[in-house]
Every structure is written in C-alpha cells, then in structure tokens.
Structure 1
Amino acid sequence: MPSTSSDDTTSVGQISNNDKSKYGREIEGLVTGCNENNLSLNAGKTKEMIIDFRKRRGERSPIYINGDDVERVSCIKFLGVRITNHLSWTSHIDVTVKKTQQRLFFLRRLRKFVMSVRLLTNFYRCTIETKLSECIMAWYGNCSAQDCKKLQKVECAAQTITEANFPSTDSIYMACCCRKAANIIKTHCTLVMTTYNLFHQTAGMEVEHTSQQVGEQLLSSHY
C-alpha cells in the first residue's frame, strides 16, 4: 500500500528536571502513529527546535527517527510564520519586509506607466498589504518597536508612490482582533441559545409526559 507524507505535523514535548524520558516517548508516539496510519515521516525534512530560557543550558543529545538524526535549528517556518527559539518575531518581520520591498519595485513601475490611483491601490492591497498582514494576529502583538518601524517604512513608501492613504499595520491588527472577538462572541451566543432551546424542549417533553401519567392515574383510580 502506498504511503502518504505527513506534512505540517508538529509534536511538542516538555523536559522537566532534565528528564528526557517523556520527551522521548512523545517522539516515539509520533513515529508509531505515522507508521500505524501509513504515513511517511521524512527525517531529512524534520526539524527540532528547543526553547530554553534557563541561564545554565545543558547539552541535548540529538533525536533519531528511523535511524536518522534530526537537524536542530534555531528558527523554523510553521504555517507561513517564522518562529525562533527566543520567541522573537524579528526574523519573520525581516523576511516579510524584504518581500514587500521587492513588490514595491513593481508598484513604482506601474506608477511610471501613469496608472490610476485606484489600480495602484488595488495592487498594493492585493500584493503588499496581504503580505504585511499575513497571520498578523500571531506575531504583531509581541513585536518590538524597532520591528514596527520597519513595517511603517514600507507603508510610507507605498503611500509616497501611490499618493494614497492606506490603513496602518496597527489598525489592521486591531480590526482583525475585533473581527475575531466578534466571531467568538457570536459562536458562543449561538451555542448558548442552542443549548437553551434543547433544554427547554426537553423540559417541555418531560412536563407533558408527566401530566399524561398523572391523568391516567386519576382516571384509573376513579373507575
């Protein structure tokens, strides 16, 4: 039977008091689960990242998958977001700014071709703003002031080229958070109303059933 590769599979383990047994069992469980479900786990593409904020950091022995050692990295890309072992977003923002600056070149070219402001605005929103706001709820709230300035430079450059006003990254972040909160509240209210309706219907059926039983008992006792 052909096997399927297990892409974007993540396993998180904790090492407490230098006890690596639990972490080792987590890796073994991952390998066993992939084998049982006919999934191919490529050790060459698998990366290990250790997050340790202790002052005294001991040496960690490498882990092995099917006899192959797993590469240990300090930065990993997960679902489009770059995460470092220091939980800093500078690496992710640097890559994002570099890509958006490359797209600013095409925006300048369109400006030289005397394109309309509307077309330039659409190009910015589709190619640059979407990249700046990609997974913004995961990283923007904890980025440093220096990283925020890097994003602002891209926005200012785009506004200078197009001579139009665009929403700042901060406003985009707040709008995304508000929409997410509204969806959570809406889902929660819908769940509460559904539970209430089910409880109300169940209670009504129980009352009706109880009334019918009482009526039958009264009739049988009368005759």
Structure 2
Amino acid sequence: MLSPVSKVDSFKFLGSIISQDLKWESNINAILKKAQQRMYFLRQLRKHGLPQELLVTFYTAVVESILCSSITVWFGAATQQDKHRLQRTIRSAERIIGAPLPSLQDLYIGRSRKRAENIIKDPNPNPNPKGV
C-alpha cells in the first residue's frame, strides 16, 4: 500500500537544507549561524593568549569545516549576497587570528579539485558495487 508524500518547504538531507525552490539561502543561514556560534570560542581563545598557529588550527577544524559543509553542492548556486555573507565570517576570523585565511572561493576550488582527484583515482566508478 502506498502512502501519500507530504509537501514541505524544505528538508534536511545529509546535513544540508534543501528548499522546495532549490535555493540555498536556508542552508547558508544555518551554516552562518553555526559558524558564528563557533567564532565566539575563537575569540575566547585569542583573548586568553593562544598562539596564532593554534588559532589557525582551531579555525580550520571548527569554523572552516562548517563553512565548507557540502560546499561543492551549493557554492555554484549560491547568490553573490550569500557568498559575501560567508566571506565576511572568514574576514572576521582573519582579524581575530591576525593571519590570512583562504577565501570562500579558494576553499570551494580546493574541495572541488580534491573531489575530482578522488573520482579519477577510483578504480571502480560504479557507485553500486553489487550491481543491483
């Protein structure tokens, strides 16, 4: 017996929010909110005198990882305004740390290249190994 599928405005799939109109604003808003919450800890670490090298490591692990969540999926379709909002977060982190950080564009290019390399290296391009 088939059950009806309900229509929703958006849903979360593999950590990304996909909206009915296939725009990424809701997803980017969620990314920004998480990143801003973690920026608080970056500020606290700076305030307590953590060395710059460790601040960069913390940023990369805790903030940048959020900013890059599914970036290869949504970056191309994100609006310039949303990209600027994300880039502002990176610039804030640069000011806190006192060191240059990769731009959002650079992060996207790096992740895309890495993804392409992994696809090329894969000896079995069949996503379903059982062939079903």
SS of equivalent residue, structure 2 residue 94: helix
Q: How far does the alpha carbon of each residue in 1:60-110 deviate from its partner, in whole angstroms, 9 at most, with x for none? A: xxx2xxxxxx65320100000000001000000011101111111111111
Q: What is aligned with 1:167? A: 102
1:144 to 79, 82, 103: 79
2:49 to 103, 114, 117: 114
CA RMSD in angstroms comes to: 1.7
* Matches of 2:26 and 2:15, distance apart in 1: 12
SS of equivalent residue, structure 1 residue 72: coil
Q: How far does the alpha carbon of each residue in 1:122-162 deviate from its partner, in whole angstroms, 9 at most, with x for none? A: 11011100000011111111101000011011000000000
* Matches of 1:186 and 1:106, distance apart in 2: 38
2:20 to 85, 97, 102: 85
Residue ranges of structure 2 left out of the alignment (5+ in a row): 125-132
Within-5 A mapping of 1:179-198: 179-187=114-122, 190=123
For the pair shown, the structure with the greater C-alpha radius of gyration is: 1
Q: What is aligned with 2:129? A: none
**1:181 alignment partner AA:** A
SS of equivalent residue, structure 1 residue 157: helix
Give the C-alpha shift of residue 175 in structure 1. Answer: 1.2
TM-score (norm 1): 0.53
Q: What is aligned with 1:56? A: none
1:102 to 33, 37, 42: 37
* Matches of 1:144 and 1:109, distance apart in 2: 32
TM-score (norm 2): 0.87
Q: How far does the alpha carbon of each residue in 1:21-48 deviate from its partner, in whole angstroms, 9 at most, with x for none? A: xxxxxx82xx7xxxxxxxxxxxxxxxxx
- How high is the sequence identity, in percent, across the aligned residues? 37
Q: What is aligned with 1:123? A: 58
* Matches of 1:172 and 1:136, distance apart in 2: 8
Give the C-alpha shift of residue 186 in structure 1. Answer: 2.7
**1:146 alignment partner AA:** Q
SS of equivalent residue, structure 1 residue 122: helix
The higher relative CO (CA closer than 8 Å, separation ≥ 6) is in: 2
Q: How far does the alpha carbon of each residue in 1:160-217 deviate from its partner, in whole angstroms, 9 at most, with x for none? A: 0000111111111111111222222233xx56xxxxxxxxxxxxxxxxxxxxxxxxxx
How many corresponding residue pairs?
124
* Matches of 2:118 and 2:91, distance apart in 1: 32
**1:174 alignment partner AA:** I
